[in-house]
Amino acid sequence: MAVRPVVATVQLGQCGNQLGLELHDTLLREAAASGDAAFLRDTQETFFRTTETTSSSQGKLVARAVLVDTEPKVVEGVMETARRSKGWQYDARNAYHQQGGAANNWSFGYKHLGPTVWSNVADMIRREFEAADMVGGVLLLGSLAGGTGSGVGTYVTEMLRSEYRKSLLLNGVVWPYSTGEVIVQNYNVCLSLSHVMQDTDGVIMIENDHIHDICTKLLHINHVTFSSMNSVISQHLANILLPSNRCYATSSSCSNHVKSRERTSRRSFLN
Amino acid sequence: MPRELITLQVGQCGNQIGCKFWDLALHEHAANNAQATFQPSMSTFFRNVDAGGRDVGMPTGTAPIQFLKARALLVDMEQGVLDQVMKGHIGELFDGRQLISDVSGAGNNWARGFCHYGPKYHDTIMEKVRHAVEQCDSLQCFMLIHSLGGGTGSGVGTYVLQHLQDEFPNVYRFVTPVFPSEDDDVVTSPYNSILSLAQLIDHADCVLPLCNDALSEICAKVSTEEDKCRRSFSASAAQKSAGPQEVGKPWERMNMLAAQLLLDLTCSMRFEGPLNVDLNEVTMNMVPYPRMHFLISSLTGSIMNLRDTPAGGQPASHYYLRNMSQLFSDAFSRDYQLITADPKQDLYLASALLLRGDVDMADIRQNLARVQRGLRFVRWNPEGWKVGHCAVPPLNQPRSLLCIANNCCIADTFTELRARFMRLYKYQTSVVERGHAERR
């Protein structure tokens, strides 16, 4: 059996964590619905790992993900939701949250909270990669409007690049609504992208306005919630993240896709 | 565990609003806590203590509630109001160490409160504040509730605010002052207000002013609408669904409005939701320059059932319910502002919409686009919106909207207060007793 490169997901902030929960669920559901056992096994290998079966409990499917936030409610809620209802779960050791929040302040997230977050999160990511036979890369999910996803996410991107020079680094970023979600969102978006561009291999752009239109005009959803928008976004992300090559001896479709699209680091925006 | 918030209730008005606040907070948490366990959301306002007053472990959501104590300090320079609070049904929330009182009162004199009682009780107050802070794991904010018209609330309140900034500079200071109405029965209220305002400009992070005139107009309007709704149902149906008695005293309804403002402002800190908004995000987004931190607020939805002891659970059929479009229209109308102001006629620097309950994004976007067309925003921030959504609805209503705005119409309120101040000061009325007033 060919060795699959694994992808670790870092979920940052409220948006990143809520989206990450939906993404992992969609990846598993899509792979299961395909009816192809090998495809399902490869998807599970790429994004999940199985804990050991002991005499007292069955082996469980655990997402290769690290959950980060600067306030506790979302991380705890997401972990609980996965554990209760999804058939898979997050590793409790891979959750890190602070208390105070980032106050929608990019510079507070980048300069002040980033170093503290990284000192805790670095070990979690290292542990996920040590549990894998081959490292594929890291997918960071977060919004650009707030303080955690943008500020802390930027710092974590820079640190990941310096720590894992040869691994693939993808940022899945959510652009806020143009009519305003956060008043200082324009600062946070510009500051994040200007830094992240130097270090990332690809920025997957997800615009709330566009996703909202898909929900209302294409899917005719009457009551659009963030949950329905996250489902749509997860479908889009799954289209590029799921193993696409039936000949599973080759490397992950994601890295091939990115390497074929970009020529220089400045043309690494994907949408 | 969510961040903690310490409430300081200063003066008669501050303590009366505070009492309504604690009453409403208890009902709100009870309505969302069927198992009667100490939920993490409760640790923002309350501590779970044993019979000896010691904290009982971390709020994991499984520990039963033993005794609840409020994270609060009650300050008044006369004992009448505090005695009533301790004898009332929420008296158990406080112990003697949380009360600071004197006998004679500040005599509606800001200088007496700021220059005499403030320094006299400085060590006691700050010691008790420090004790309350030590009981917090991650204190985010002090919430000061007081009026500006009297002596204790204005003088002692602003004195304490100044020292909170000195001693805890990294903890936010949110202030809910009640501005005196034009026909206030305290003759010296203009002096007290202006002298307090100077302190609020320098030492508060965020001020959400309230005005008695505006609060009483809202109460009258909502009562009228509720009566119409009640009469539109049959007599037998109205009798079957009769809930607790409606609050008769106007002050209690007005205090309930103020209390609801504080609960809606902090709901995202306590409960889960798709789009959380913390208090630090409010200051970050709503305050473009440090001294321009006076925010006008309007409440719609949650105020539509002003009852003394809310029934909890589903709203009764005769309650006055508003849909999303009506909530948005009301939020920007003059009639629902908590101070006497008309923000639509003036320039918005920033605006925050904090929604609770059953709302969806499509409705929010549509109504935002509709309302925005009729508003004037400053040229450097044309999309100046901060949106928050908490999944937990307010008591007895399916949804509510709290709109907080940094709007230039607050200047009219300041101008009016200054005019009242100058009318008195021009004739040197009562100036002899206010040494500090002369120097200012």
A238: tokens are 């799954």
- Please report the pLDDT score of residue B78 as a whole number: 84
For residue B360, give the nearest of A147, A179, A225 by CB distance.
A225
pLDDT at res. B237: 47
Which residue has tokens 């020292």? B163
Q: Greater confidence, B374 or A269?
A: B374
Averaged confidence pLDDT in chain B: 85
More confident residue, B289 or B315: B289
Interatomic CA distance for residues B285 and B384, integer angstroms: 9
With a cut of 80, say whether residue A53 has pLDDT above it: no
Nearest to A104 among B3, B281, B384 (CB): B281
Examine the pLDDT at B322 and tell me if it is beyond 90.
no
Is the pLDDT at A250 greater than 70? The verdict is no
Mean predicted confidence (pLDDT) in A200-221: 92
More confident residue, B64 or A123: A123
**Spatial CB neighbours of B83, under 8 Å, sequence gap ≥ 6:** none
Query: A22, A73, A216, A225: best mutation site toward chain B, by most B Cβ within 10 Å?
Result: A73
Share of chain A above pLDDT 70, in %: 87
Main-chain phi, psi angles of B137, to 5 degrees: -90, -35
How far does B39 lie from chain A, in Å, by closest CA?
12
Residue A95, classified by CB atoms within 10 Å of its CB into exposed (0-12), middle (13-18) or buried (19+), is: buried
Q: What integer best gives the mean pLDDT of chain A? A: 85
Q: B41-44: which pairs have CB atoms within 8 A and are 24 or more residues apart?
A: B41/B2, B41/B270, B41/B271, B42/B68, B42/B270, B43/B1, B43/B2, B43/B4, B44/B2, B44/B3, B44/B4, B44/B5, B44/B71, B44/B266, B44/B269, B44/B270
Is B272 in Cβ contact with A73 (below 8 Å)?
A: yes
Q: Which residue in B169, B159, B215, B187 sits closest to B17, CA to CA? A: B215
Phi, psi angle pair for B104, to nearest 5°:
-90, -15
pLDDT in tens, B278-291: 999 999 999 999 99
Q: How far is CA B253 from the centre of its chain?
A: 13
Residue for token pair 């499509």: B362
- A211 pLDDT band, cuts 50/70/90, is very high
Q: Calculate mean pLDDT across residues B143-172.
A: 94
For A85-97, what is the mean pLDDT?
Answer: 89
Decide if B383 and A180 are in contact by the 8 Å CB cutoff.
Answer: yes
Contacts of B283 in chain A (CB under 8 A): 103
> What is the rounded distance in angstroms from the CA atom of residue B31 to the CA atom of residue B241?
19
| Residue B391 amino acid letter | A
What percentage of residues in chain A have a pLDDT greater than 90? 58
Interface contacts A/B by beta carbons within 8 Å: 90
Chain A residues with beta carbon closer than 8 angstroms to that of B32: none
Give the separation between CA B230 and CA B331, rounded to whole angstroms: 24
Confidence check: pLDDT of B387 > 70: yes
Least confident of B97-111, B155-169, B246-260, B308-322: B308-322
Contacts B278 to A, Cβ<8 Å: 71, 101, 103
Residue B398: its chain A contacts at CB < 8 A? none
Hey, are the CB atoms on A225 and B361 less than 8 Å from each other? yes
Region B223-250: mean pLDDT is 57
Mean pLDDT lowest among A119-133, A171-185, B134-148, B233-247:
B233-247
Beta carbons of A72 and B2 less than 8 Å apart: yes
Is pLDDT above 90 for B242?
no
Closest CA to A68 of A145, A142, A11: A11
Cα distance between residue B172 and residue B358, in whole Å:
30
Q: Tell me which chain B residues have a C-beta less than 8 angstroms from the C-beta of A229.
A: 361
Question: How many beta carbons lie within 10 A of that of residue A222, not counting itself?
Answer: 8
Percent of chain B with pLDDT over 70: 86
pLDDT at B311 over 50: no
- In angstroms, the CA B420 to CA A189 distance is 46
Q: Using CB atoms, pick whichever of B274, B281, B362 lies closest to residue A223.
A: B362
Most confident among B251-260, B298-307, B424-433 (mean pLDDT): B251-260
Q: How far is B207 from chain A (nearest CA, A)?
A: 18
How far is Cα A25 from Cα A63, in angstroms, rounded to an integer? 10
Query: Which pLDDT belongs to residue A1?
Result: 52
A180 and B369 within 8 Å at the Cβ level: the answer is no
Between A261-270, B112-121, B284-293, the lowest mean confidence (pLDDT) is in A261-270
Stretch 131-190 of chain A: residues touching chain B, C-beta under 8 Å: 147, 177-184
Closest by CA to B299, choosing from B358, B339, B269, is B339
Distance CA B124, CA A32 (A): 66
| Region for B134 from its dihedrals, namely left if φ exceeds 0, alpha if ψ lies in -120 to 50, beta otherwise | alpha
Both tokens of residue A175? Answer: 């652009």
- In this prediction, residues B74-86 reach a mean pLDDT of 89
C-alpha to C-alpha distance for B175 and B148, rounded to whole angstroms:
11
Give residues 132 to 171 of B whose Cβ lies within 8 Å of A.
Answer: 137-138, 140
- Specify the DSSP element, H or E, that contains B328: helix B324-331
Reply yes or no on whether the pLDDT at B301 is more than 80: no
Taking contacts as CB-CB distances below 8 angstroms, the residues of chain A near B171 are: none
d(CA B179, CA B30): 32
State whether residue B111 is helix, strand or coil: helix
ipTM of the complex: 0.83
B174, B285, B367, B381, best to mutate vs chain A, most A CBs in 10 Å: B285
Measure CB to CB from residue A104 to each of B3, B272, B285 and give the nearest one: B285
